[in-house]
């Protein structure tokens, strides 16, 4: 069995703030009778409640990350430079 289709990135918009979603260790999805996650679905956050989805927008993948220079290396080079 080969790999499936590439995943699509989707931005979701919620009806309002979703308390606890940023720090949730687990979440659930309520798809209702359609059994499809769509604009009528909800995200369930344990001990916080339900967050109603209002829309979806397809998104391009994020740009590739750029490696940053290590700050410690620059400081070490400055310390080794004679005054």
Give the three-class secondary structure for 80.
helix
Give me the mean pLDDT over the 6-14 stretch: 73
pLDDT at 70: 59
User: Is residue 83 predicted with pLDDT exceeding 60?
Assistant: no
pLDDT tens readout for residues 44-76: 999 999 999 888 887 777 778 777 665 555 555
Give me the mean pLDDT over the 16-31 stretch: 92
Give me the mean pLDDT over the 6-25 stretch: 83
Angle in degrees, CA 37, 61, 4, rounded to 5: 60
Give me the mean pLDDT over the 15-24 stretch: 91
């Amino acid at each position: 069995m080969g790999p499936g289709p590439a995943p699509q990135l989707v931005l979701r918009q919620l009806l309002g703030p979703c308390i606890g979603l940023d720090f949730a260790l687990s979440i659930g999805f309520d798809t209702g009778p359609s059994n499809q996650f769509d604009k009528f679905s909800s995200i369930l956050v344990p001990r916080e409640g339900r967050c109603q989805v209002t829309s979806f927008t397809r998104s391009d993948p994020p740009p590739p990350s750029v490696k940053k220079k290590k700050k410690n290396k620059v400081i070490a080079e400055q310390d080794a430079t004679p005054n």
